[in-house]
Structure 1
Amino acid sequence: MLGSIAVRPFEEIDLDWLVEAHATLYARDEGFDDSFGPLVETILKRFLLDHDPTREQGWVADRDGHRLGSIFCVQGPQTNWAKLRLFLVMPQARGFGLGQHLLDTCLGYARGVGYDGLTLWTHKSHVAACALYEKNGFALEAEKPAQSFGCDLIEQTYKIVF
């Protein structure tokens, strides 16, 4: 299945789909409230307005006009560190290597533009994603309980040094 999926740059036309996909899946699978979708929308609109195309990129996985996932590499708060954002693989595309392919795309890009490393923020409940990060050399840097999006969560920060 992976061979028939194209990974292309994120475009403004993808915004509504990506907001809806995040909001719907996180509500269904994690119990997130309706504050999550607007956060994703804010992140994407900010990206479209002021990202640095020489150092930041977003990608969408697409098969025959059907979007199946996304991942973004953006400048982090630390000098010369990137941040992975909005990593999503739709349920129907899981188990075929798409998550690894998207992660490889992001990591390759971050290395290629000269970042020293990459950080990401996630939740402990994302077991498959956390296993993928660890398999690819990310180390768990911190975790803490939090109340976010109407849920009790364990927030985690992962980091990889290049």
Structure 2
Amino acid sequence: MTEFQIRAYTPDDAAWVHAAHAQHYRAVDGFDDSFGVLVESILRDFDAGHDPVCEAGWIAVDVRGAPVACIFCVKLTEETAKLRMFLVTQAARGSGLGYRMLQTCMGFARDQGYTGMTLWTHESHAAACALYRRNGWQLVHSTPVLSFGQDLVEQEWQIRF
């Protein structure tokens, strides 16, 4: 079994996070370039002004130090954090790393005093949705959309601590 280390995100990781998201979702879901633009914008905002007291990101790396996963926790309101940019690459899927990343993010949110979290995803991300459900998240809203050049079903999930 491959060992992965989870470490804090730094701005030096931004290029990998952007490229990994754009490449993965183009290859797997057929997303157009507007998805990469969105990820780039989220990263730019995070790097420019996140509050390290209540917001954080994590990168998982393999034994060679190569990034294989990321996840972010950002402040939505005083009580609610938002999970953002959660990605586990194909090379690390099935290893339990997604669970560890999710637990790291949720634990941080609880430790910072948030009473819940929310996230936005797509119905087509079945493995991620199953992971959220197994960890106590509830689907609260679904909407069919045309987004990133694809017909999708956007979903909002929430969890209360």
Into which bin does the TM-score normalised by the smaller protein fall? over 0.9
Q: Which residue of 2 aligns with 1:69?
A: 69
What is the percent sequence identity of the aligned residues?
51
Q: Distance in 1 between matches of 2:129 and 2:22?
A: 20
Q: Distance in 1 between matches of 2:25 and 2:50?
A: 25
1:79 Cα deviation from its structure 2 partner: 3.2
Q: Distance in 2 between matches of 1:34 and 1:48?
A: 21
Equivalent pairs counted in the alignment come to: 160
SS of residue matched to 1:133? helix
SS of residue matched to 2:94? coil
Q: Within 5 Å, which residues of 2 pair with 1:12-161?
A: 12-63=11-62, 64-76=64-76, 78-161=77-160
1:80 Cα deviation from its structure 2 partner: 1.6
SS of residue matched to 1:35? helix
Q: Distance in 2 between matches of 1:12 and 1:53?
A: 13
How much is the aligned-residue C-alpha RMSD, in angstroms?
0.8
Aligned AA for 2:91?
Q
Q: Distance in 2 between matches of 1:40 and 1:34?
A: 10
Q: Which residue of 2 aligns with 1:7?
A: 6
1:35 Cα deviation from its structure 2 partner: 0.8
1:12 Cα deviation from its structure 2 partner: 1.1
Aligned AA for 2:40?
E
Aligned AA for 1:60?
I
Q: Distance in 2 between matches of 1:25 and 1:84?
A: 19
Runs of 4+, deviation exceeding 2 Å:
none
Structure 2: segments with no counterpart, 5+ residues: none
SS of residue matched to 2:51? coil
Q: Distance in 1 between matches of 2:91 and 2:65?
A: 14
1:5 Cα deviation from its structure 2 partner: 1.1
Aligned AA for 1:128?
A
Q: TM-score, normalised by structure 1?
A: 0.96
Residue deviations 1:18-46 (CA, integer Å, cap 9, x gap): 11110011001011001111110110111
Structure 1: segments with no counterpart, 5+ residues: none
Q: TM-score, normalised by structure 2?
A: 0.97
